[in-house]
Structure 1
Amino acid sequence: MFPFLSASIVHLPDLITDLGLILITAAIAVLLFRIMKQPLVLGYLVAGFLASSEFDFFPTVKDVNSVKVWAEIGVIFLLFSLGLEFSFKKLVKVGGTASITAFTQIITLVTLGFFTGQFLGWSKMNSIFLGVILSISSTTIILKTFDELGVKSQKFAGNVIGSLIVQDIIAILMMVLLSTVAVSQQFSGMELVQSVLKLIFFLTIWFVVGIFFIPTLLKKAKHLLTDEMMLIISLALCLLMVIFAANVGFSPALGAFIMGSIIAETTQAEHIEHLVKPVKDLFGAVFFVSVGMLIDPNTLLEYAFPVAVLTLIVIFGQSISSSIGSLLSGQPLKQSIQSGMSLSQIGEFSFIIATLGTTLKVTSDFLYPIVVAVSAITTFTTPFMVKFAEPFSVFVEKKLPKRWVKRIQLYSSNTEEIKSLSNWQIVMRSYLTQVVLHSIIIVAIILLSSTFILPLVENSKFGNAIAALITLIILSPFLWALSLRRVAVKQVQILLEQKKHYGPIIMLVLFRIALSLFYVGFILNTFFSAGIAAIAFLIAIGSYILFPKKLHAVYHKIEDHFMTNYNDREIKKENKRQNTLSPWDGHMTEFDIAKESNLAGKTLEELKIREQFEINIASIKRGEVVINIPLRTERLFPGDEISVIGTDKQVKEFKIYLDKNEIDVAEKVVETDIILQKLELKNRVCIGKSIRESQIRENTHGIIVGIERNGKRTLNPESHLVLEESDILWIAGEKKKIAAFLRS
């Protein structure tokens, strides 16, 4: 009856059927959890549990090993995305407040977790992993909770986010240390020190080399790269660093995180983050589903008591320790309690660390499902902890003795004085940074030279001399910087004015020179015998003395290139701010027109936005089409993105107007071809005409957004204003057309 059924059935690989099952189950689960307004991570965990062999009602995943491979890829892309959101500048800006909060929490929870594991009769390795697992809060869960509750703009949220940044860095470090401890199966202080030094060495090299080359590569190739190519290059760089990290003995996740943090310093960071997000979401979902698949209900029943105990430790231990840490850093009582109660959960990093223990086969099978259960419970409690943090802080403040509250307020107000650095501290920090950074670069170049250059030339007659010469030439600017480059000039000058500091300053300079000479001798000794090395040493020193200006110029060229790449993203943002009519407090802001907006379908002339709010609409983005300097007859449609130019006050009033008209507002940085150009009207034919009669709009396809007359500045002038010879105009429009108008 149905002949097509008799045809041979194509057999799909288990990998495809398993992936399909995982994604279908995950889709259903997250839809249900979205309706219940619960975190999606929980939905993925439930989906994994339903797709596991422990639950027979639904189809079961056949090849668990393949899913584990997908999950490892998920961890890599999760960490890569976290790196893209992270910035080394952010870590510097976080300052002591978030650092003290994070360190207090981690030290307290690692200690509590370890002793709790010992109390429960677990092995030392289980207890160590447990302590680390319980100490790291969940960035994903906290950020989603903040968004849902609308508290991300509150002051305490900045401390929480800063603390999460510090925690992520410490978590990466602890993963490396745990791997060392797991392999050696013992607490060797020397091995831990070696691991930390090795980590610092490779992190510095990766970061310096990455910042020096990758932003330049992306900048030079920007005009050639489509979104598809940009995505492929980004993922390729990520996996390349993953391979490097694995080859030198570090976690692949560390490599992914480092590459993400390097790309985060480029001008393409936001764009790449947007492109990578679907990939991260896909593999992240597979990772969390695979975590859910490892939930064993029998294990949970058997270990119900440890789950309950550890849940209480996470909720109360993290809340109290983070609150104390925030207080110690000088935050007010209310904000400290809000910060502490927000950090009371574990999440993605805890899963990753638990996975590390399972992969290394140093933790027991019961630890993983216990961690998942604790994470699931604390994920449910997080929104309530954040919501009730403020009323609870008011309650605590009322119950505490008044003298305690006054002392906390006094301590908080005096912390700024404690944070200030003396001249000696600034000088020592600068000298230490100089010595450590350049020493790492020099040692890395020597190792690379002896590994790759020397084997190529050592069999030739002058092979060693050639290798040594190449190495010294490459190293020469860094050796000059290590020995003679001036740092903290202002502070050193102040200290030298006091005779008692003269000796220590001279000793610091001599130490740097001696260290540079040591590296030169070490290089030559690597390539020559002792006698020849001594002669070559004198020749090398003579060269450095004869060509100091040349070395100075070369080093500064290298440094300028590095600093340009390092600061390029911020410079671009600053240029945008400066290019947004800063003298008038004007700036460009982008708003989205929602589908339900009652402004949709109306022309700009009908809306009279210019007349009502004294702002100009610079562009309308409609899908892939951008309408620059739209005409009055242009209509707004649902989904349009409009860019407006105005002052803070004008934009704020316009935003209120949009909210009343049921528009979803999303302010963001504008990527546009529109520029703001300054124009002096001397000897222009438009003098004596009104703005409308001058035909400037028609000739430049732009609008006059500012005018300066006799020192008085006016933003968005009226079209009937008559232009005078002394006027200075600011025109917003397309770069090429404005340039053509200026040449005419």
Structure 2
Amino acid sequence: MAAVNVEALISDLAFILILGAVVTVLFKWLKQPVVLGYIVAGFLASPHFYYLPSVTTESNIEFWAQLGIVVLLFSLGLEFSFKKLIGVGGSAIVTALVIVTGMMATGFIIGRILHFSSMNSLFLGGMLSMSSTTIIIKAFTDLNIRRKKFASLVFAVLIVEDLFAVLMMVILSSIAINKSVEGAQMAFSIGKLIFFLVIWFLVGVYILPSLLNKIRRFLNNETLLIVSLGLCFGMAVFSVYCGFSLALGAFVMGSIIAGISYAERIESVVAPVKDLFGAVFFISVGMMVNLDIIIQYLNPILILSAVVIIGMIVFGTFGMLITGQPLRIAIESGFSLTQIGEFAFIIASLGMTLGVLDPTIYPIVVAVSVITTFTTPYFIRIADPVYGIIEKILPQRLYFLIDRYSEKATTESETRQLWMSVLKRYVWRILLYSTVLIAIIIVALNYLLPWMLVITPSWGRLLTSMLSLLSMAPFLFALALPASKRIERRRLVSANAHFDVPLIVMTVFRFILAIGFMIYLLGSIHSMRVGWLAGFVIFIVLIGTLSGRLRTRLRSIESRFFNNLNERELRRSGKNNSLVSDLHMAYMEVSPSCPFVGERLIDSNLRLRFGVNIASIQRGNTFIAVPNGNVRIFPGDTLGIIGTDTQIENMLPLVEAPENEPDETQQQPASNLKLTNIQLSAKSPLIGLTSASAALRDKYKTLLVAIQHTDGSYEHPTGQTLFQEGDTLWVFGSRKQIQRLR
């Protein structure tokens, strides 16, 4: 029986992959997104399409699809990183919050108008609130606009939306299980999620980089793939054990790994696995498409498509405007977010798995995704013309107010920036250390105390208190320490005396919070009277007697944590690898666009040009220590470079230069290139020009191969030959450029 099941499993996988390959090649030829090809392939493989064989067992595809979700979210996590979240700034966070809140409310209202149940309307709002990272990246790449300012802001919004999507999945799961929206239950679910995210983040950042660095010499691509997927599935299983989903665990593990120096290599080795299982997931989405349902619900599909497009434009533009972005940037950003994609399918799959989503909604959402995916490039293109129209019809006073607000919001005083930096550090310290202290208290009360009472009933409570307080001491002390430096506090107070009050309040709040943790622990183990009395006394003793040793230990712990958190950046800049004086060892990966790719070290003159020394080259599994001048530099090499901060900063942009966007000729498939001839008429502007002055290669991206004269003779162009009436030019290039030349 098992053999039959395995055979069916493999045969179903083979069928959908072969069908997927054929359809996606067709979609590539039609220059359409591959994701749409997968969805069409899924429809063709489904029981709803009667003209082809169907899969034998849909549960087989569901199994592969669940693997696809896990690997897909792990890969999204690799592109996310908590470090990026901290760095994207308030503009992206506020914009994402406006979009998600606005679209969820709109989706819920439209769902109720279309007579969906409250639960289905709630899930519909969640599905309509998430733009597709995959589709937007593909559209920006095709349109050659990834380097524009608004594109970087859109990517930042997508990063925050990914986090909101994960949070939304937890909230929707809680609501679906309880069959109602309970404020207390939802707050508990969100608090529980934040607690576990912080704990996983702290433990992962503190342990993983150190562990991987210790086994560095064993990590070839094969081993790294096994290790990374092992971590992915391990965290996914642990996430389920903690009461969350597989997808959440995979996303969190990807986010943790995203900050370490192995992130790029892991992305590279995991990419084929992601492509395989991601394809199966999107094919499984297509299998839910039912043409009868789509025809039956054509009006809701068109209405929801319009809601997605108009809603994303309105909320995206408004979100950017209120964060101080110029009107043009806001409109371009809003017009770029007009689609739904992978997270809509994942949320729909969640609803189906929990048994709370009407099966007809799934194909409706897929149809909306297909429509909005097709329209995305067109809306991105018309953003600038729409801005031009709005600029003309917008009252001058209103335009002036928007422009002035944007300038004011983006120009902050030095004191304000310092205050925001101190406040951000203060909030992060409270969040991180409070989470660790809560985790210690939970472990002490639920596991340590019962165990101690079994071993030694008389001394169990006292021993538990002592061990718990000993574990909590460094973090209590860190919580009580000021989050700002003395010089920063002086600058704030001297700039504005009003800053003195919030600084005092922050200090008092930290002390109260630290004492509160101690009172709760001791009160839970003994009694509240003991907790209050002992808590104050122990806290004062900690602050008064152990500050020197604890401060030193804390600095060591914090230093290691932040070094691991910034390992990827520190490895590139070398700021953590001090050698002598101000010299550092930095590690940079050579980009294909690096100007000295292919050169020998002796010819590149890096020491003369930048003042640096190349100490090592890592090339795949080969390590070249102290390379000689005849060693060449190749793309993908990791250079170990010794230099000062300034020298390394000057060299880094060249070594890791972003790949040049391909020009039109480079984007042409071979089928679009041809060798043909063009006969020069009397009116041709080329007559009288030489093959050099005509500059066919530069102006038309076309290669002049030969010139056939009227007497039938052929001449290879030398740059000096004059074009004459009746000459036939034999040229090679793209069909489009040759047509221009004609």
The TM-score normalised by the length of structure 1 is: 0.77
Using the alignment, how far apart are the partners of 1:145 and 1:486 within structure 2? 43
Q: Give 1:466's match in structure 2, choosing from 443, 463, 467.
A: 463
What residue is the counterpart of 1:185 in the other structure?
179
Residues 293, 399 of structure 1: CA spacing in aligned structure 2 closer, same or farther, 3 A cutoff?
Answer: same
- What pairs up with 1:503-582 in 2 under 5 angstroms? 505-528=503-526, 540-541=538-539, 543-544=541-542, 545-575=544-574
Further displaced range: 397-406 or 350-359: 397-406
| Contact 1:617–1:643 (8 Å) recurs in 2 | no
Using the alignment, how far apart are the partners of 2:522 and 2:67 within structure 1? 44
Q: Give 2:445's match in structure 1, choosing from 447, 450, 467.
A: 450
| Contact 2:523–2:531 (8 Å) recurs in 1 | yes
Q: Secondary structure at the match of 2:391?
A: helix
What residue is the counterpart of 1:372 in the other structure?
366
Residues 499, 386 of structure 1: CA spacing in aligned structure 2 closer, same or farther, 3 A cutoff?
Answer: closer
Deviation at 1:631, TM superposition (A): 8.7
Deviations 1:150-201 (A, max 9, x none): 1101111011101111111111111111112212222222222222222222
Structure 1 residue identity aligned to 2:490: Q
Deviation at 1:328, TM superposition (A): 2.4
Deviations 1:214-263 (A, max 9, x none): 12111222123332222222122222222232222222211111111111
Verify: 1:489 aligned to 2:483, yes or no: no
Structure 2 residue identity aligned to 1:285: A
| Contact 1:593–1:640 (8 Å) recurs in 2 | no
Verify: 1:90 aligned to 2:84, yes or no: yes
Using the alignment, how far apart are the partners of 1:658 and 1:609 within structure 2? 25
Verify: 1:478 aligned to 2:475, yes or no: yes
- What pairs up with 1:97-116 in 2 under 5 angstroms? 97-116=91-110
Deviation at 1:567, TM superposition (A): 1.7
| Contact 1:327–1:336 (8 Å) recurs in 2 | yes
Deviation at 1:82, TM superposition (A): 0.7
Q: Secondary structure at the match of 2:180?
A: coil
Residues 182, 622 of structure 1: CA spacing in aligned structure 2 closer, same or farther, 3 A cutoff?
Answer: closer
- What pairs up with 1:226-625 in 2 under 5 angstroms? 226-417=220-411, 421=416, 429-459=424-454, 460=456, 461-487=458-484, 489-494=486-491, 505-528=503-526, 540-541=538-539, 543-544=541-542, 545-575=544-574, 590=590, 592=592
Using the alignment, how far apart are the partners of 1:450 and 1:642 within structure 2? 49
Verify: 1:24 aligned to 2:52, yes or no: no
| Contact 2:228–2:266 (8 Å) recurs in 1 | yes
Structure 1 residue identity aligned to 2:429: Q
Deviation at 1:419, TM superposition (A): 8.6
Residues 663, 627 of structure 1: CA spacing in aligned structure 2 closer, same or farther, 3 A cutoff?
Answer: farther
What residue is the counterpart of 1:35 in the other structure?
29
Aligned Cα root-mean-square deviation (Å):
4.1
Using the alignment, how far apart are the partners of 1:64 and 1:192 within structure 2? 34
| Contact 2:520–2:531 (8 Å) recurs in 1 | no
Using the alignment, how far apart are the partners of 2:475 and 2:304 within structure 1? 51
| Contact 2:48–2:290 (8 Å) recurs in 1 | yes
Further displaced range: 87-96 or 352-361: 87-96
Residues 411, 499 of structure 1: CA spacing in aligned structure 2 closer, same or farther, 3 A cutoff?
Answer: closer
| Contact 1:342–1:382 (8 Å) recurs in 2 | yes
- What pairs up with 1:129-208 in 2 under 5 angstroms? 129-208=123-202
Further displaced range: 361-370 or 90-99: 90-99
Using the alignment, how far apart are the partners of 2:395 and 2:491 within structure 1? 46
| Contact 1:617–1:629 (8 Å) recurs in 2 | no
Deviation at 1:64, TM superposition (A): 1.0
Using the alignment, how far apart are the partners of 2:319 and 2:593 within structure 1? 43
Using the alignment, how far apart are the partners of 2:160 and 2:80 within structure 1? 10
Using the alignment, how far apart are the partners of 1:19 and 1:262 within structure 2? 32
Structure 1 residue identity aligned to 2:30: M
Deviation at 1:546, TM superposition (A): 2.8
Using the alignment, how far apart are the partners of 1:80 and 1:482 within structure 2? 33
Residues 412, 58 of structure 1: CA spacing in aligned structure 2 closer, same or farther, 3 A cutoff?
Answer: same
Deviation at 1:444, TM superposition (A): 0.7
Deviation at 1:502, TM superposition (A): 5.6
Residues 531, 493 of structure 1: CA spacing in aligned structure 2 closer, same or farther, 3 A cutoff?
Answer: same
Structure 1 residue identity aligned to 2:521: I
| Contact 2:519–2:528 (8 Å) recurs in 1 | no
Using the alignment, how far apart are the partners of 2:660 and 2:32 within structure 1? 32
| Contact 2:426–2:483 (8 Å) recurs in 1 | no
Using the alignment, how far apart are the partners of 1:542 and 1:649 within structure 2? 49
| Contact 2:111–2:120 (8 Å) recurs in 1 | yes
Q: Secondary structure at the match of 1:458?
A: helix
Using the alignment, how far apart are the partners of 2:203 and 2:652 within structure 1? 44
Using the alignment, how far apart are the partners of 1:635 and 1:425 within structure 2? 47
Deviations 1:337-384 (A, max 9, x none): 221111100000010111111111112111000010111111111122
Q: Secondary structure at the match of 1:13?
A: helix
Residues 361, 415 of structure 1: CA spacing in aligned structure 2 closer, same or farther, 3 A cutoff?
Answer: same
| Contact 1:215–1:266 (8 Å) recurs in 2 | yes
Using the alignment, how far apart are the partners of 1:353 and 1:104 within structure 2? 20
| Contact 1:617–1:630 (8 Å) recurs in 2 | no
Deviations 1:13-53 (A, max 9, x none): 21111111111111111111111111110111011111111
Q: Secondary structure at the match of 1:111?
A: helix
Using the alignment, how far apart are the partners of 2:128 and 2:206 within structure 1? 37
The TM-score normalised by the length of structure 2 is: 0.77
Further displaced range: 141-150 or 452-461: 452-461
Deviations 1:32-79 (A, max 9, x none): 111111111011101111111111322211111121122111111111
Using the alignment, how far apart are the partners of 1:608 and 1:506 within structure 2? 61
Structure 1 residue identity aligned to 2:131: S
| Contact 2:144–2:661 (8 Å) recurs in 1 | no
Q: Secondary structure at the match of 1:38?
A: coil
Q: Alignment length, in residue pairs?
A: 643
Taking every aligned residue pair, what percent have the same amino acid on both sides?
39
| Contact 2:593–2:659 (8 Å) recurs in 1 | no
What residue is the counterpart of 1:50 in the other structure?
44
What residue is the counterpart of 2:678 in the other structure?
none
| Contact 2:20–2:37 (8 Å) recurs in 1 | yes
Using the alignment, how far apart are the partners of 2:341 and 2:92 within structure 1? 19
Deviation at 1:655, TM superposition (A): 11
Q: Secondary structure at the match of 2:574?
A: helix
Deviations 1:437-482 (A, max 9, x none): 3222111111112223223321224333322222111111111122
Deviation at 1:390, TM superposition (A): 2.6
Using the alignment, how far apart are the partners of 1:176 and 1:650 within structure 2? 41
